Structure 1
């Protein structure tokens, strides 16, 4: 006797259950949006000299043409807010949203809570490209050279993984994962070789880049990353219903009209785009794409119409708070943010493995 497949919450429970699920999801999204605003204001208010949160909000409102709230009283506060702190806060939120959305897509495509964007090699490919620029002092795009090469390296590595995993017009999930593991091993070896070739200063720069940092973010970089993240998140929302149907299994999804192979290809391209946009300017930031979508799924269920926007907001909140921690944990020091996310994500990953073992590796 066979057991019926488990459906995503907003697919399986009928119209009334769907309304309740989406209503609860909207509440979660609203709460995360409020949390993001609070986190951004708190992060912008904190620094070498503190600025009251009310003055931070007042500065933003006055820039929007609203004569509300007090303006900063410190003579350098306004300049510091708009040229140093706000670009960093906005970039942090964008990168967090990009990585978490990419993680939600990966987990939906693979049907596994342990999947994360690094599986397809985008982060390791970006790291090798960035290290190559640093070691050989390439400068064809000026100060943008590392970012351009990291973005291209991530996309190319993902394309290589996908092409190598494809056979007879189809891509099996297990084959894609194993191919990604092999390519990640090769890129890790390449990165180690580049570290061996590098001099002391280049080696330190590579190590710092691979640990991730949002220090020195500028509005020009924000303007490049913003459209990529917006397009990626919007496309993920468009694919939400098909991802819900994919949770039924490949055969059932095909029966209801889903082009499974095309869906996987589009999702992997979106994952590469979002992750490459995230790491190009900030370096490798681990575990955001693993932790956030899984936590949101535990709270709101697996329906992607709620999961995708909630993951984007949750990733932004998490990374803004992590960056605040990185700037304030040690006086006059800016810790690598990737180190802090790994510090939190590592224990979570162990917990997730134990939980998956208890459910026979099932999709919770």
Structure 2
């Protein structure tokens, strides 16, 4: 009896793991299918209505598959205007949601989001400076440079304050974000007017209206940089048990936390350089997904990525099409959707604290 008990336990664990893995794959497959369906719908929606089948055929024709049923104008609308924006929205939404889930686990704070370390505020400084100077063409580069400088300032301040612990790092991020916000306000007050002011306002509120294949490629780079975070599920689960328990499991808590914090900041810097600071996606989506798939990060991270892509794609489609011919910055839509959802999660006690 004694010898066979461990074998039965191992067999039971294996039998239980297979169904869980199967359910995980089914859940991710359903989210992926929904994302593809919504992307096709988004390519069809707009002032120039296009049938979903025609939009799909136009994309296929650009890839060398078949021919496009649309004329040159319709083909350009779908492939050169709408599709880059769809790709950017999916990449940014996925990256922000993954980073948000990782940040909430690292700092053990339900209010953590991708902008916690002052990265988006630094990006705003870079973006505003080039916009008031009339150099909008280099906006993504300037925004990323500003985000990187903000990250270095946060880490440097935290280290100088007595050691870069997670708490000191968060506090340093608050200081850097406040200083960067003041610089942005000063630049707007001193120099911005007319078209520059409208461009700055749209960027600060978060917008994908200027998406091109070049900016979509940058967003895809940001999403690709977030892919290594997807395999950090076991590390995050270990950190959730406490640093001592994580150490007993062979995880260097301090080194792991720092590596993941820096990775999150770099991903966020790349993404906001394209989209501006789009709020609530990285905050709300991980909490909502956690209710459905549980707290295990092995499933939470990829599910949050797919859900984040879905949320931002839907929000951006609403932003550009619901009030045609006027267009809202997508950050307004995500705030209008995210604030009541987060409030409902709080009131029902579903936000993990």
- For normalisation by structure 2, the TM-score amounts to 0.89
- Structure 1 unaligned segments of length 5 or more: list them: 1-12
CA spacing shift, 1:245–1:18, aligned 2, 3 Å: farther
CA spacing shift, 1:21–1:108, aligned 2, 3 Å: farther
Asked whether the equivalents of residues 322 and 337 of structure 1 are also in contact (C-alpha less than 8 Å), the reply is yes
Superposition RMSD in Å? 2.3
Match of 1:188 in 2: 181
Asked whether the equivalents of residues 88 and 214 of structure 1 are also in contact (C-alpha less than 8 Å), the reply is yes
Looking at structure 2, the residues matched to 289 and 144 of structure 1 have their Cα atoms a distance apart, in angstroms, of 27
Match of 1:288 in 2: 281
SS in 1 for 2:109: coil
Match of 1:233 in 2: 226
Match of 2:257 in 1: 264
Greater mean alpha carbon deviation, residues 220-229 or residues 243-252 = 220-229
- The CA deviation string for residues 16-56 of structure 1, in whole angstroms up to 9 with x for no partner, is 54444333222221111011101110111011111100111
- The CA deviation string for residues 194-248 of structure 1, in whole angstroms up to 9 with x for no partner, is 1211232233221111011111311122223323321x23210232211111111
Looking at structure 2, the residues matched to 99 and 37 of structure 1 have their Cα atoms a distance apart, in angstroms, of 19
Match of 1:209 in 2: 203
Match of 1:3 in 2: none
Greater mean alpha carbon deviation, residues 32-41 or residues 103-112 = 103-112
Match of 1:79 in 2: 76
Match of 2:243 among 240, 250, 258: 250
Residue 90 of structure 1 pairs with residue 83 of structure 2: no
Looking at structure 2, the residues matched to 59 and 134 of structure 1 have their Cα atoms a distance apart, in angstroms, of 35
Looking at structure 2, the residues matched to 14 and 112 of structure 1 have their Cα atoms a distance apart, in angstroms, of 32
CA spacing shift, 1:263–1:181, aligned 2, 3 Å: same
Looking at structure 1, the residues matched to 73 and 65 of structure 2 have their Cα atoms a distance apart, in angstroms, of 22
Count how many residue pairs are aligned between Structure 1 and Structure 2: 341
Looking at structure 1, the residues matched to 71 and 211 of structure 2 have their Cα atoms a distance apart, in angstroms, of 23
CA spacing shift, 1:62–1:210, aligned 2, 3 Å: same
Looking at structure 1, the residues matched to 34 and 163 of structure 2 have their Cα atoms a distance apart, in angstroms, of 42
- The CA deviation string for residues 90-122 of structure 1, in whole angstroms up to 9 with x for no partner, is 111111111111111111211232210111111
CA spacing shift, 1:362–1:171, aligned 2, 3 Å: farther
SS in 2 for 1:120: coil
CA spacing shift, 1:275–1:154, aligned 2, 3 Å: same
Looking at structure 1, the residues matched to 161 and 321 of structure 2 have their Cα atoms a distance apart, in angstroms, of 53
Looking at structure 2, the residues matched to 149 and 248 of structure 1 have their Cα atoms a distance apart, in angstroms, of 39
- In the TM superposition, residue 167 of structure 1 has moved relative to its aligned partner by 6.8
Match of 2:43 in 1: 44
CA spacing shift, 1:179–1:319, aligned 2, 3 Å: same
SS in 2 for 1:49: coil
Match of 2:98 among 101, 105, 127: 101
Match of 2:8 in 1: none
Looking at structure 2, the residues matched to 353 and 157 of structure 1 have their Cα atoms a distance apart, in angstroms, of 31
Residue 346 of structure 1 pairs with residue 345 of structure 2: no
Asked whether the equivalents of residues 114 and 282 of structure 2 are also in contact (C-alpha less than 8 Å), the reply is yes
Match of 1:299 among 276, 292, 295: 292
